[in-house]
Amino acid sequence: MKTFRLIVAATFMMAAITVLPAYAQGTGRTAAPSAGGAQSTASTTGNVPDSKVALINTDAFSDEKQGITRLVNAVKGVDREFAPRKTELQGMQTRIQQLTDDIQKTAPMADPKATQTKQDQLDQLKKDYQRKGEDAQAAYNKRLQEIVGPIYDDIGKSLDAFGKTHGITLMLDAAKIGPAIIMATDAMDVTGVFIREFNSSHPATASTAGPEE
């Protein structure tokens, strides 16, 4: 069975005045429902469908409680590495807002030169915030790919082996094809079975991500 590489999409920050910090998307998400619209029977009973076609929900891999432990721990590790940058950016965001409010309140009665000085400070702070935010975003994405890339390689290989072992000739990603599935029985969902087998054969280590360089 031919499998395609799974790619993690992560965002460290989102745009606001310039860039607002946020955690990586996907961490702690709740697994999306199966194509049948109800909780998967396969994921709770551990059954594999007799059909040669199966569904798997890759969004569930990052579920904090029932997902792939190595993947969840890896993303958390990278989040911890970048926590100081996130805190710094949040502090800059607060200063930007405070300075903006101060200018708006005092401008009508303040000396124009003093107001301009504050405006210059605000403009510089925004530029610094934008630059640091973009640098942090790029560094975060690079680091995340370095850490989770090998894990997704293992997931891809394991999916291939899983399909061969269980006689599955076609495996569809329910997280990607969505509305294209008109009807499917819950028994076709092998997400829970695969995650349990992967976690068993690829146990998570105490610390997946090392210190940021």
Q: Tens digit of pLDDT for each residue in 44-53?
A: 445 665 668 8
H, E, C per residue of 26-72: CCCCCCCCCCCCCCCHHHHHCCCCCCCEEEECHHHHHCCCCCCHHHH
Question: Distance between CA 72 and CA 11 in Å, rounded?
Answer: 15
C-alpha to C-alpha distance for 29 and 25, rounded to whole angstroms: 8
Provide the pairing of β-strand 20-21 with 53-56.
unpaired
pLDDT tens profile 16-26: 223 323 323 33
Q: State the amino acid at position 47 in one-letter form.
A: N
pLDDT 10s digits, 121-163: 999 999 999 999 999 999 999 999 999 999 999 999 999 999 9
Burial 150-169 (b: 16+ CB within 10 A, else e): ebbebbeebbeebbeebebe
Does the pLDDT value for residue 65 go beyond 80? yes
- The reported pLDDT for the residue numbered 51 is 62
Query: Phi first, then psi: what are they for 88, rounded to 5°?
Result: -60, -45
Of 114, 210, 32, nearest to 122 (Cα)? 114
